[in-house]
Amino acid sequence: MDDKDPTKPIGERVEHLLGQMTAEEKAGQLIQPFGWLAYDHIDGKITLKEAFKKQVEQGGVGSLYGVLRADPWTGVSLETGLSPAQGAEAINEIQRYAVEHSRLGIPILIGEECSHGHMAIGGTVFPVPLAIGSAWNVELYREMCRAVARETRAQGGAVTYSPVLDVVRDPRWGRTEECFGEDPYLIGEMAVAAVQGMQGDRLDGEDSVAVTLKHFVGYGSSEGGRNAGPVHMGWRELLEVDLYPFRKAVEAGAASIMPAYNEIDGIPCTVHTELLGEVLRKRWGFEGMVITDCGAIDMLASGHDVAADGMEAAVQAVEAGIDMEMSGEMFSRYLLDALRQGKLETATLDRAVRRVLALKFKLGLFERPYVEPSRAAQEIGSKEHLALARKLAAEGIVLLKNEAGTLPLNGAAGKIAVIGPNADHGYNQLGDYTSPQPKGKVVTVLEGIRAKLAKEPERVLYAPGCRIKGIDREGFAYALSVASQADTVVIVAGGSSARDFGDGTIDLKTGASKVTDNTWNDMDCGEGIDRMTLQLSGVQLELIQEIHKLGKPLVVVYINGRPIAEPWVEENAHAVLEAWYPGQEGGRAIADILFGDVNPSGRLTVSIPKHVGQLPVYYNGKRSRGKRYLEEDSQPRYPFGFGLSYTEFRYSNLTVKPDRIALHEEASVTVDVTNAGDREGAEVVQLYISDVASSYTRPSKELKGFRKITLQPGETRTVAFTVGAEQLQYVGKEYELASEPGLFRVMAGRNVADTLSADLIVRED
């Protein structure tokens, strides 16, 4: 039999190929070195490095991580990095060498970061997942995932390390921006959309990439919101909350999964056999590949300290169910010696190799290892993808406050002063896991507003005022001077997940760009950047307070990666927009909202507290968690699902029919939604369920459905949901899904704190 014969079943092809492999070739399939180290790019010429070629010849390389990744961590810049066509050419060179110079001609699995766009030079930068979640538009996100898959596969990328399915429990965590929010049901809907969008109808399609679900599991519930900290969570909560989105994605056909760095109840997820074996493989029937996060195996011996040394850590990982190591450091050092010393069984090694080879066959890499560079140049950053990025950004923007109709802006706004550290800083709009951007690619808020008033450029004034971090107030005087000349002030503040891209800085006294030897790094969010507070960094609040004294209409736009708790701003600004990190088209999207060309429809997927001391404030906590503190109640300033519009929506006629059902039956829930305002708008209709009395404690409310609908002025639409066992069940006795008879409260409305309610009685079958 020929394992290259595509007409044969994949299982047969895998076994035939495995039977020909040496121990060195098997171990090689489990390692994933850093891809940007595999080649040199000098004067436009791509040359494979001798060390990489030697590695291929001596046993093979199973995968490469981030061949096309560019950022300060990799050291790949706009000057040294690859254009879309060059990236495709580089991967072709890599694959050609692997196929032609390894004994068995096994192609390499190219893995790339694609959390909110392919992290390669030229790739479309979409809004971060927190903004995508706030759009509550599953179909639009699925469309985005198809676009990301097209861009990635066009360059030769075959697997992506997304979606991030972590449930946010402490937004001080720097990776909050990478998540969809705090609710497992909503995350589960996005998870299914990601799998369907990126993997397409079949993995071997030219527009499909394999997804890697991460981080499995509990990563968003770390102690103190500190990255990779221990997770203190009971098994029932783990199954009901954090594991739920992963289960939905596995059921949808996800091809790969990545364990989290953290430990749960003393067991690191990297070697958590009950999670990786019992839950993932046996209960859920997952047959795909499991890959570690970077450095996770080393942490077992130097961090978690559950292994005496590197060899023991590597053996533990393979035995627990790890199939590939990102970075490949520990596996390349220890696997062969462990095999020779009898510390690792050949059958255990073979199990992992089978899964790696199976994924390569499913992706069609043996039949189609090469890509067409001209197609990469055409697909990547296309006009269609830019339009999609703009629409997603606009739908994810949340209007938190709009006093006396301050927004949308109109002719009465007169001169507009655009002020703040995020008003004209493109990188601060993009979030973490972003490649360097050529000048002019990212549209800032200042540029978006100027474009709206292109015929009246004199109406737009600008001053940065201050930086994100630091105590430098030298820009205050200029900002106040600019604001005093305006009729309306738009302050663009917030945070930054921009790493040091060497793009210079801004003269705070004049607002002009300038280049310095030491670029100011304003990063206060992103991976590894956890905070003790949710307040604005630096002197941003002081700047806002000083400008407020001028008595002008004040609009605050937040661009950031986690919720901001600034009571003074909420109480004194006339309007507040939460834009998260809206991506490269964010400036246009924000301007669309500010001027009313788009009616805001974003709704919060994380609760925003009044004060950091209220944490945790996620809406679906247990009823027994208490009512208040001495200083303040326990309710958030803005609840889950909250968001304003330029029109008004009214809810009426909530019905549940029948209102009595057996455990195996379903009820239809309908509610009428009316646009009672004078302009078209989109509303997110949310369905919540409350189990009034249960054998085990339950959250007071749980999201179980949502619909985003668009209504014309005066239009009424009846929105329908189905409620049955899937919506009513929970993890009961023996940690199995169960349904119980009793009284359930069914709620529908505009956010978790503003709903209509009706009862549903469930009886025994």
List Cβ neighbours of 479 (8 Å cut-off, separation of 6 or more): 419, 463, 464, 465, 466, 543, 546, 547
User: 506 and 513 in contact (C-beta within 8 Å)?
Assistant: yes
Band (pLDDT 50/70/90 cuts) for residue 506 is confident
List Cβ neighbours of 45 (8 Å cut-off, separation of 6 or more): none
Catalytic site residue 293?
yes
Q: Dihedral sign for Cα 480, 486, 489, 495, please.
A: negative
Residues linked to residue 42 through DSSP beta bridges, in sequence order: 45
pLDDT greater at residue 306 or residue 59: 306
List Cβ neighbours of 755 (8 Å cut-off, separation of 6 or more): 651, 686, 688, 747, 748, 749
Mean pLDDT of 286-307: 98
d(CA 317, CA 405): 58
DSSP element (H, E) containing 36: none
Asked whether residue 3 carries a pLDDT value surpassing 90, the answer given is no
Conformation bin of residue 630: beta by default, left when phi > 0, alpha when psi is -120 to 50: alpha
Band (pLDDT 50/70/90 cuts) for residue 60 is confident
User: 647 and 675 in contact (C-beta within 8 Å)?
Assistant: yes
List Cβ neighbours of 228 (8 Å cut-off, separation of 6 or more): 219, 222, 260, 261, 262
Closest CA to 414 of 492, 485, 362, 505: 485
List Cβ neighbours of 234 (8 Å cut-off, separation of 6 or more): none
Retrieve residue 645's tokens.
């519009």
The stretches of 667-728 forming alpha helices (DSSP H) are 725-728
Mean pLDDT of 563-589: 98
Reduced to 3 states (helix: H, G, I; strand: E, B; else coil), residue 134 is helix
pLDDT of the residue at 512: 67
d(CA 649, CA 652): 10
Q: Dihedral sign for Cα 65, 70, 72, 76, please.
A: positive
d(CA 603, CA 642): 5
Looking at the whole model, is its pTM more than 0.85? yes
pLDDT of the residue at 505: 67
User: 732 and 695 in contact (C-beta within 8 Å)?
Assistant: yes
Mean pLDDT of 662-671: 97
d(CA 66, CA 157): 9
Mean pLDDT of 716-729: 97
Asked whether residue 236 carries a pLDDT value surpassing 60, the answer given is yes
Give backbone dihedrals phi and psi of 728, rounded to 5 degrees, phi first: -105, -15
pLDDT of the residue at 520: 65
- For the chain, counts of helices (H) and of strands (E): 22, 30
Q: Using the 8-state DSSP alphabet, how is residue 16 labeled? A: H
Reduced to 3 states (helix: H, G, I; strand: E, B; else coil), residue 671 is strand
pLDDT of the residue at 518: 52
Asked whether residue 326 carries a pLDDT value surpassing 60, the answer given is yes
Band (pLDDT 50/70/90 cuts) for residue 413 is confident
Q: Dihedral sign for Cα 592, 451, 585, 382, please.
A: positive
Query: Active site residue: 3, 71, 183, 293, which one?
Result: 293
Asked whether residue 515 carries a pLDDT value surpassing 70, the answer given is no
User: 664 and 765 in contact (C-beta within 8 Å)?
Assistant: yes
d(CA 693, CA 698): 8
Mean pLDDT of 439-445: 96
d(CA 415, CA 451): 14
Terminal Cα-to-Cα distance of the chain (whole angstroms):
55
Asked whether residue 758 carries a pLDDT value surpassing 80, the answer given is yes
Residues linked to residue 263 through DSSP beta bridges, in sequence order: 268
Cα 295 from chain centroid (whole Å): 21
Reduced to 3 states (helix: H, G, I; strand: E, B; else coil), residue 488 is strand
Strand order in the sheet with 460-463: 398-402, 575-578, 554-559, 488-494, 416-419, 460-463
| Omega of the bond leading into 41 within 30 degrees of 0 (cis) | no
d(CA 703, CA 522): 36
Band (pLDDT 50/70/90 cuts) for residue 513 is low
User: 69 and 80 in contact (C-beta within 8 Å)?
Assistant: no
pLDDT of the residue at 1: 54
Mean pLDDT of 497-520: 69
Give the mean pLDDT of the chain.
96
Domains defined along the chain, listed by start:
10-378 (3.20.20.300), 397-625 (3.40.50.1700), 649-763 (2.60.40.10)
Mean pLDDT of 127-137: 98
d(CA 664, CA 765): 7
Band (pLDDT 50/70/90 cuts) for residue 519 is low
